[in-house]
Amino acid sequence: MYKIIYKKCLNDFVIMMDVEAPLVARKAEPGQFIILRVDENGERIPLTIAGFDQKQGTVRIIFQVVGATTKKLSHKNAGDYLSDFVGPLGTPTHTEGLKKVCIVGGGVGCAIALPVAQKLHAMGCEVHGIIGFRSKDLLILEDEFRACCNQLTVMTDDGSYGRQGVVTLPLEEAIQAGEAYDEVLAIGPLIMMKFVVATTKPYQVKTIVSMNPIMIDGTGMCGGCRLTVGGETKFACVDGPDFDGFSVDFDEAMQRGSIYNNYERHAYSETCNLFTKEVE
Amino acid sequence: MAANMNPKKNPMPSQPPEVRAHNFNEVALGYTKDAAMDEAMRCLGCKHMPCVSGCPVNIHIPDFITKIKEGDFEGAYQIIAQSSSLPAVCGRVCPQENQCEKHCVRGIKGEPVGIGRLERFVADWHNTYVQEPPKCPVSNGHKVAVIGAGPAGLACAGDLAKKGYQVTIFEALHMPGGVLVYGIPEFRLPKSIVEKEVDTLRALGVKIETNVVIGKTITTDELLGEMGFEAVFIGSGAGLPRFMGIPGESLKGVYSANEYLTRSNLMKAYREDSSTPIMKSRRVAVVGGGNVAMDAARTALRLGAEKVYIVYRRSMEELPARHEEVEHAVEEGVELLLLTNPTEILGYNNPEDKRDPQNGFVTGIRCTKMELGEPDERGRRSPVEIPNSFFTVEVDAVIMAIGTSPNPLIKKTTTGLEVNARGGIIVQEETGATTMEGVYAGGDAVTGAATVILAMGAGKTAASAIDIYLQGN
Ligand SMILES: Cc1cc2nc3c(=O)[nH]c(=O)nc-3n(C[C@H](O)[C@H](O)[C@H](O)COP(=O)(O)OP(=O)(O)OC[C@H]3O[C@@H](n4cnc5c(N)ncnc54)[C@H](O)[C@@H]3O)c2cc1C
Ligand SMILES: Cc1cc2nc3c(=O)[nH]c(=O)nc-3n(C[C@H](O)[C@H](O)[C@H](O)COP(=O)(O)OP(=O)(O)OC[C@H]3O[C@@H](n4cnc5c(N)ncnc54)[C@H](O)[C@@H]3O)c2cc1C
Ligand code: SF4
Ligand code: FES
């Protein structure tokens, strides 16, 4: 059993929790994820490690309530226990040697992007952040990003905060203005990542995307998380979740992501799942 | 006592096919005491014991059968327990027809003695009637780590614990049992039996740490270093699923057997109270011919499929699954498409509407007919395509059960551990010793996908080798 030490609501749909899991905290690196089960008959769901504290032995997760399991998780409070919490899984985000990076985060994807941004910043890399949300009330982690980005642009779809428009807008402007990024790192809904790649590809700016397919075990045992990358089958849980954006077959990934849409028992998911937003 | 010369085995009482095809309860119900004693009387007690030579762990078969004849079922159990750690499991899932029963003298003129059924009877009798006081042995102070809680790891841990070692099993999943809990379905191996074995280990003082992925959470090097384990046994299985590489394998409704079975067995997707989803398909094609394929096909039926096909590229004779499973599957209504090879999986695509939610779901599988070619050096006749014999079967799900390989995770994160071309960990057969001092391995992680009894046997072999190694230190 894994104790929830701390809980905070970041907005109406996004919740942050620190969970006691010293073995996971000991090894965690930005870009890796955990798999948890809330209770005995629960589903296994993957969530990115949004932060960790090795001294306290805690791991931070930030999740959006989209369906049955995340809803159940949102009802847990500090002091409650989760029945399973395994990790760190996946390959850490590659950061070595990077001097200048643009991090593009969309919605709850910003939670995944943050630890990478922090690590790059701590390494002395110049970090430009572009984070996008549908509207002001969904904005999360702005202060945290400000603290680790040399430049931060906040975008909202409806213009209720920051600049109005999609994240690819300022990205393209920056590239056109001559910002020489070693890498663009895009983390968010599939459709956003697809458009980021479409933006960077003409300029041949290396672009890494963080894929979120449906997973079960997270160890390479089921193949449910498979993607086609550069014509080859890859398992996101072990080979990823980061992949070269130019090689990922996004259309296939979007289709696969919707496999259980008819089975989801929660109407909730219709309205607020940023990961499948606009995909269906 | 005169032997029972009936040429046929006592039949196994089973749920009728039309009933069991719709429930997840165990199919075979087990011998009654009378049937077991009657079956035991068919054994001739051969002096040269050909059956024993067919048993991968050399259970003293005629001896335990003699005890059954005498009505001493616990005595029979104790004889089996000398050689096997998991009799209730192996009695159910061993391919006896290729092992002990294949060599049985009674098999020459009729059916062999139902050795597997007797083993199961004895083990179930013991589990029901004998409350073993957990004799927690005196600790000898040595710490051993076991990676993976499948049959290999469980057997190794059990033997070491009985010798007084402090054993910790590290398991990646949230539940111990390996394939016994995530792969083999409830209707063939009730999970309560595996739980009972695991409880026995805990009573012996074995610690089981679930949710620990060796290579990620902790490395083998750390186990041997800062964590203070003096020896490590790797029983991590062969869980990496293969795909065929044909077009359409990424469509919605294409599963690896591992995913399909894990959703159903480990995550209990067949039950209403589980929150893990699984597609409830109408028509299903399972590609492959092993036990895994049969299990997937029979699971699909139980999840409500109207029609389930097994698509296998060789003929009935080569079908690698246990005979009993094939028979059961066919009785339940699974149709075998033999000498058939899939070439493409077809999916729905609405050219008018890119957002049609049906887009990307499987609609069929395109196959070609095969014939067996000339035998190769090893006498195996490999299937060759019959030109222009394409046909399409309408299905809404395809399950790939074409084999698995050892997961490279541990190899990649352990310095000095060597594997062969197929990814199997290289060991000395007599001891299970790997290329790293103090590190032993066994089961599917070494051999690639094999059997429960071989994995269990390898775990026991390594346990005695570890004992010798640590006592020598
Ligand atoms: C590597 C990885 C990292 C992730 N990190 C985060 C994170 O940091 N924060 C966050 O909010 N979300 C994250 N996700 C997505 C998160 O796992 C899903 O939102 C969650 O599983 C939904 O579960 P549910 O039962 O609440 O919703 P459901 O009603 O079951 O599903 C809603 C939608 O979520 C997706 N989903 C469902 N089950 C899974 C699954 N087992 N694996 C992946 N996606 C699934 C599907 O697209 C589905 O349509 C991550 C996913 C992956 C693969
Ligand atoms: C569907 C199916 C049906 C089968 N039917 C039969 C049958 O009827 N008869 C028969 O004899 N055999 C059958 N087999 C084969 C048999 O189950 C296997 O040969 C046997 O389970 C192998 O045992 P093992 O202990 O080596 O590995 P496994 O049972 O695979 O156990 C390995 C364990 O190690 C864990 N693990 C893996 N990597 C790590 C890691 N890095 N860290 C921690 N833990 C890890 C896994 O999660 C797993 O629990 C079947 C297999 C399948 C899949
Ligand atoms: S070969 Fe058959 S008949 Fe002979 S001892 Fe073994 S089980 Fe009995
Ligand atoms: S989640 Fe099962 S193989 Fe990746």
Q: What is the pLDDT of residues A223-253, one digit of tens each?
A: 999 999 999 999 999 998 999 999 999 989 9
- Asked if the structure places residue B134 within a domain, the reply is no
Higher pLDDT, B110 or B374: B110
- Select from B211, B254, B267 the residue whose CB has the most chain A CBs within 10 Å, as the one to mutate to test that interface: B211
CA-nearest residue, atom 10 of ligand 2: B451
* Spatial CB neighbours of B72, under 8 Å, sequence gap ≥ 6: none
| Confidence band for A269, pLDDT divided at 50, 70 and 90 | very low
> Could you tell me if A9 and A85 are in contact, meaning their C-beta atoms sit under 8 angstroms apart?
no
For residues B18-36, average pLDDT: 93
Which range in A17-21, B129-133, B411-415 is most confidently predicted, on average pLDDT? A17-21
Q: Are residues B284 and B361 in the same domain?
A: yes
Q: Which of B36, B80, B41, B42 is nearest to B61 (CA)?
A: B80
* Helix (H/G/I), strand (E/B), else coil: A122: helix
Distance (Å) from CA A221 to ligand 4 centroid: 5
Residue A270 pLDDT more than 60? no
Domain boundary among B103, B129, B155: B129
Residue range A100-257, CATH number: 3.40.50.80
Ligand index nearest the alpha carbon of residue A269: 1
| A-chain residues near B279 (CB < 8 A) | 259-260, 263
The values of phi and psi at residue B395, to 5°, are: -145, 160
For A115, A128, A175, A209, the CA distances from A149, given in Å and listed in that order, are: 12, 6, 17, 19
* Spatial CB neighbours of B382, under 8 Å, sequence gap ≥ 6: B372, B373, B376
CATH of the domain at B235: 3.50.50.60
The values of phi and psi at residue B343, to 5°, are: -120, -20
Distance (Å) from CA B250 to ligand 4 centroid: 14
- CA of A212 to nearest chain B CA: how many angstroms apart? 15
Of A37, A44, A223, the CB nearest to B241: A223
Of B240, B245, B263, the CB nearest to A220: B240
Residue B446 pLDDT more than 90? yes
Q: Are residues B268 and B371 in the same domain?
A: yes
**pLDDT, tens digit, for every residue of B436-445?**
999 999 999 9
Residue A194 pLDDT more than 60? yes
Share of residues in chain A with pLDDT > 70 (%): 93
| Confidence band for A264, pLDDT divided at 50, 70 and 90 | low
Distance (Å) from CA A222 to ligand 4 centroid: 5
| A-chain residues near B240 (CB < 8 A) | 220-221
- Reduce the secondary structure of chain B to three states and give it as a string: CCCCCCCCCCCCCECCHHHHCCCCCCCECCCCHHHHHHHHCCCCCCCCCHHHHHCCCCCCHHHHHHHHHCCCHHHHHHHHHHHCCCHHHHHHHCCHHHCHHHHCHHHCCCCCCCHHHHHHHHHHHHHHHCCCCCCCCCCCCCEEEEECCCHHHHHHHHHHHHCCCEEEEECCCCCCCCHHHHCCCCCCCCHHHHHHHHHHHHHCCCEEECCCCECCCECHHHHHCCCCCCEEEECCCCCEECCCCCCCCCCECEEEHHHHHHHHHHCCCCCCCCCCCCCCCCEEEEECCCHHHHHHHHHHHHCCCCEEEEECCCCHHHCCCCHHHHHHHHHHCCEEECCEEEEEEEECCCCCCCCCCCCCEEEEEEEEEEEEEEECCCCCEEEEECCCCCEEEECCEEEECCCEECCCHHHHHCCCCCECCCCCECCCCCCCECCCCCEEECCHHHHCCCCHHHHHHHHHHHHHHHHHHHHHC
* Spatial CB neighbours of A159, under 8 Å, sequence gap ≥ 6: A165
The range of the structural domain enclosing residue B77 comes to 17-129
Query: Does A255 contact chain B (CB < 8 Å)?
Result: yes
- Asked if the structure places residue B214 within a domain, the reply is yes
Q: Are residues B159 and B287 in the same domain?
A: no
Q: Which DSSP letter does residue A92 get?
A: P
Q: How many domains does chain B have?
A: 3
For residues B447-467, average pLDDT: 94
**pLDDT, tens digit, for every residue of A32-71?**
999 999 998 889 999 999 999 999 999 999 999 988 889 9
d(CA B217, CA B237): 18
Q: Are residues B205 and B269 in the same domain?
A: no
What is the pLDDT at residue B134?
62
| Confidence band for B235, pLDDT divided at 50, 70 and 90 | very high
∠ CA B272-B275-B278, nearest 5°, is: 80
Q: Are residues B348 and B305 in the same domain?
A: yes
Residue A104 pLDDT more than 50? yes
Which ipTM score applies to this complex? 0.88
Pocket test for ligand 4, best of A219, A229, A256, A259 (most atoms within 8 A of CB): A219
- CA of B174 to nearest chain A CA: how many angstroms apart? 7
Of B218, B249, B360, the CB nearest to A23: B218
Residue A169 pLDDT more than 60? yes
What is the pLDDT at residue A276?
44
What is the pLDDT at residue B317?
87
Q: Are residues B382 and B417 in the same domain?
A: no
d(CA B14, CA A218): 37
Residue range A2-89, CATH number: 2.40.30.10
**Which residue type does B407 have?**
N
Q: Are residues B338 and B450 in the same domain?
A: no
Q: Are residues B121 and B21 in the same domain?
A: yes
Of A68, A85, A228, the CB nearest to B275: A68
Q: Are residues B69 and B116 in the same domain?
A: yes
Residue A272 pLDDT more than 50? no
> Could you tell me if B369 and B389 are in contact, meaning their C-beta atoms sit under 8 angstroms apart?
yes
Q: Are residues B364 and B279 in the same domain?
A: yes
**Domain regions of chain A by residue span:** 2-89, 100-257
Token output for A118: 């922090």
Q: Are residues B268 and B390 in the same domain?
A: yes
- Asked if the structure places residue B2 within a domain, the reply is no
Residue A273 pLDDT more than 50? no
What is the pLDDT at residue B438?
95
What is the pLDDT at residue A268?
42
Return the percent helix, strand and coil in chain A, to nearest 5.
30, 30, 40
For residues B120-133, average pLDDT: 88
**pLDDT, tens digit, for every residue of B55-69?**
989 999 999 999 999
Q: Are residues B442 and B329 in the same domain?
A: no
| Confidence band for A277, pLDDT divided at 50, 70 and 90 | very low
**pLDDT, tens digit, for every residue of B147-172?**
999 999 999 999 999 999 999 999 99
d(CA A248, CA A234): 10
Pocket test for ligand 4, best of A221, A234, A256 (most atoms within 8 A of CB): A221
* Helix (H/G/I), strand (E/B), else coil: A211: coil
What is the pLDDT at residue A262?
65
